[in-house]
Amino acid sequence: MERGRMSIGILTSGGDCPGLNAAIRGVAKAASGEYGMRVIGIANGYRGLIEGEARVLEAADFSGILTRGGTILGSSREKPFHDEGDQTDAELGQSKPELIIENYRRLGLDCLVAIGGNGTQSTAHLLSLAGLNVVGLPKTIDNDIAGTDVTFGFHSAVDIATEAIDRLHSTAHSHNRVMVIELMGHKAGWLALFAGVAGGGDVILIPELPYRRESVAETLRARERAGKPFSIVVVAEGALSAEEAALDKKERRKRRAAMSWPSIGYRIGAEIAGDTGMETRVTVLGYLQRGGTPSPYDRLLATGFGAQAARMIAAGEFGKMVAMRNGEIVPVPLSEVADRTRKVPPGNPTLSTARLVGVGFGD
């Protein structure tokens, strides 16, 4: 390997989303074009580092991928510091972190760029503490990574979900029905909140605001009394009732696993039908929220995050995640990000706006 030329490894980890390839392209074009670095693509998230599956990326590899969904590198939900998954440390004969450090050295990496969500950044932080040079990029449709005002993938998912909600209005109105749409977002309700407000949802249920059935029913009845016997109810997959919120996590998981509904949206649809007598239908938007081309906003954001990562590497600024803070793309210490989730705070402006225009949150 030519001496003096830095080599950086890039991996994408966790759930995929629109914008991953734009981020890879942003890092790779800036690192190779501006700073003359060698770029190595690591396959399938941290699993590629454990298994040593990596290859040098040539300019042709990251050309023409700005608008492509998914990730050219592949992804996994490998959590190297949790001894679980396909192979245990014992079966491997070495701990996964040790294998990662060994392969990082063998590949001759000067830095690892970890593009991913909460779990990815927490692993990046531990690898940084273990002595590797790491830079994180915040990715997830859930928008729930601490330390940054926004993650790429989020706005593309808001666009997809909003377009779906728009379509549900016409069928709800035509049949005087309550249409429930379940969106992704396990721990935080950002996606349901933003798409719900953008799509004119009448009720929005998010994990941060445990709901009461009677409150949901009353919002829908009030609409009916006002001559609108149709409504849109937007539910985050992590939404929970006030009763569930009072349980400890273990008990709550047990109850959820035992429920006869395939997912929360169906349960809430049945609750609404039972409590109000209104005809109700359910749509689970699922993985459509993670597929396809990134929105122009996410292309801009992912490219900006990627270019900033290259700047940080050139400046020797490691152990940090690229973040958007008050409109500026800046580095934040991974120690402030790891093991945290950014939830919708009670005073969030979009939440306040929604309440002012009459959206019910079931609380």
DSSP 3-state of 325: strand
Residue 140 touches ligand F6P, criterion: CB under 6 A: yes
Tell me the pairing of strands 320-325 and 328-333: antiparallel
174 burial via Cβ count (<10 Å: 0-12, 13-18, 19+): exposed
Spatial contact of 1 and 108, defined as CB atoms under 8 Å apart = yes
Q: Which stretch binds ligand F6P (CB under 6 A): 63-71, 136-144, 192-200, 244-252?
A: 136-144
Query: Residues 142, 144, 159, 298: which is the catalytic one?
Result: 142
Residue 117 touches ligand F6P, criterion: CB under 6 A: yes
Spatial contact of 128 and 161, defined as CB atoms under 8 Å apart = no
| Contact flags string 304-343 toward ligand F6P, x per CB under 6 A | ----------------------------------------
Known catalytic membership, residue 142: yes
Q: How many residues does the chain have?
A: 363
Q: CB-wise, 14 or 147, nearer to ligand F6P?
A: 14
Residue 141 touches ligand F6P, criterion: CB under 6 A: yes
Distance CA 122, CA 182 (A): 28
Residue 186 touches ligand F6P, criterion: CB under 6 A: yes
Least Å from the CB of residue 4 to ligand F6P: 38
Spatial contact of 77 and 45, defined as CB atoms under 8 Å apart = yes
Strand order of the β-sheet with 231-236 is 203-205, 231-236, 178-183, 280-284
- Amino acid (one-letter) located at 69: G
Spatial contact of 352 and 194, defined as CB atoms under 8 Å apart = no
Least Å from the CB of residue 93 to ligand F6P: 28
Least Å from the CB of residue 21 to ligand F6P: 16
Q: Which stretch binds ligand F6P (CB under 6 A): 37-45, 135-143, 199-207, 239-247?
A: 135-143
Q: Which stretch binds ligand F6P (CB under 6 A): 165-173, 182-190, 222-230, 332-340?
A: 182-190
Distance CA 93, CA 265 (A): 44
Among residue numbers 236 through 255, which ones bind ligand F6P (CB under 6 A)?
237
Least Å from the CB of residue 289 to ligand F6P: 7
Outline where DSSP puts E strands in 117-244.
134-138, 178-183, 203-205, 231-236
Per rule CB under 6 A, count of chain residues that contact ligand F6P: 12
Residue 184 touches ligand F6P, criterion: CB under 6 A: yes
Distance CA 207, CA 194 (A): 14
Least Å from the CB of residue 215 to ligand F6P: 25
Among residue numbers 9 through 38, which ones bind ligand F6P (CB under 6 A)?
14-15
**Residues noted as catalytic:** 142
Residues near ligand F6P, by CB under 6 A:
14-15, 77, 117, 140-142, 184-186, 237, 290
